[in-house]
């Protein structure tokens, strides 16, 4: 498999308060890769590292077959970037901002830029200082797409935008990807938004990548199991289970069964309970947000997960 972004054992720390310790991450070419994590988990720091804005203390970084930071000039000519905070001059108009950015990108497509402005309902004569947050968000995405990037990096691109603007922005991005085959790396805490559009997902927590796998595997592989924990008078054990038990919640007044949070579940794994010291009573599906929360909870109480989602 070819990768648009590769981080291999990257180390970086600004001091004692935070640390990325041997972070490895791989974004398949042509994928829409959702980068999830709570605030402060290291998502923006990771982006700054592979965009060449921060120099790692150890490890290697490759983007579009170039090495970071050695080949950044060549890499950045092929990357569209929407940062977490706006990076446009407020005294410019929309049209002036488009022409200003065009001067820095050799692959800039002026006809496509005009189409984006019209498609997203932007006024070329409107000053950025007088634009709403939603209009500014549309402009930032237009600036990134107008250079026809092979890789589009979006850091919280729709944070704080209303649902209509979010849909307009993401529809435009998806249409571009469908036409060009570009890779998209999108960092967000809006879990349900990523669930609709991404085919790969990486989850960060406290400076570590706690999972990286196809979106369908993530959604379908994390389950709640309701388990009767005693069979033939013997306490249940799950050490030899074909799935990973992330957490076990004891019976309560509502349910007489233990609840197991498991990862890597497949339908044929139910047969394991035929020979185990437990009865499987029910399998409960989780949506992406529920799976994300359970993953973080289990990570903070154990070291069950491998960084690349393997047992």
Query: What pLDDT is recorded for position 236?
Result: 64
What pLDDT, on a 0 to 100 scale, did the predictor assign at position 95? Answer: 97
Q: Where are the domains of the chain?
A: 3-216, 223-285
In which order are the strands placed within the sheet that holds 183-187? 79-82, 151-155, 183-187, 32-36, 200-205, 208-214
pLDDT of res. 305: 38
| pLDDT of 159 | 78
Q: Pairing mode, if any, of strands 151-155 and 183-187? A: parallel
pLDDT attached to residue 234: 55
pTM over 0.85: yes
Three-state SS for 275? Answer: coil
140-143 long-range Cβ contacts below 8 angstroms, 24+ apart: 140/82, 140/83, 140/86, 140/87, 140/88, 141/82, 141/116, 141/169, 141/172, 141/173, 142/98, 142/113, 142/116, 142/117, 143/80, 143/82, 143/88, 143/97, 143/98, 143/101
Q: Which residue ranges of the chain lie beneath pLDDT 50?
A: 303-311
Q: Are 203 and 292 in contact (CB under 8 A)?
A: yes
Tell me the CATH number for domain 3-216. 3.40.50.300
């Amino acid at each position: 498999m070819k990768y648009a972004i590769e981080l291999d054992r990257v180390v970086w720390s600004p001091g004692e308060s935070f640390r990325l310790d041997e972070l490895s991450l791989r974004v398949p070419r042509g994928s829409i890769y959702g980068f999830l994590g709570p605030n402060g988990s290291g998502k923006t720091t990771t982006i700054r590292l592979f965009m060449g804005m921060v120099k790692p203390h150890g490890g290697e970084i490759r983007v579009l077959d170039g090495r970071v930071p050695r080949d950044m000039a060549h890499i950045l000519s092929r990357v569209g970037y929407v940062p977490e905070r706006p990076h446009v001059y407020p005294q410019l108009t929309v049209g002036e901002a488009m022409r200003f950015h065009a001067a820095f990108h050799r692959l800039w497509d002026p006809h496509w830029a005009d189409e984006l402005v019209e498609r997203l309902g932007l006024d070329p004569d409107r000053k950025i200082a007088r634009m709403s947050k939603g209009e500014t968000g549309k402009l930032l995405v237009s600036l990134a797409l107008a250079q026809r990037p092979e890789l589009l990096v979006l850091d919280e691109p729709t944070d704080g935008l209303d649902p209509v603007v979010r849909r307009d922005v993401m529809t435009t991005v998806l249409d571009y990807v469908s036409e060009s085959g570009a890779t998209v790396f999108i960092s967000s805490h809006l879990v349900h938004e990523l669930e609709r559009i991404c085919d790969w997902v990486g989850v960060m927590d406290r400076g570590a990548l706690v999972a990286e796998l196809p979106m369908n595997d993530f959604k379908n592989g994390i389950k709640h199991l309701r388990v009767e924990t005693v069979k033939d008078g013997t306490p249940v054990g799950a050490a030899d289970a074909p799935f990973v038990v992330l957490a076990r919640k004891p019976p309560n007044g509502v349910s007489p069964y233990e609840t197991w949070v498991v990862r890597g579940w497949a339908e044929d794994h139910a047969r394991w309970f035929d020979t185990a010291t437990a009865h499987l009573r029910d399998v409960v599906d989780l949506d992406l947000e529920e799976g994300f929360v359970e993953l973080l909870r289990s990570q903070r109480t154990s070291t069950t997960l491998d960084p690349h989602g393997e047992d």
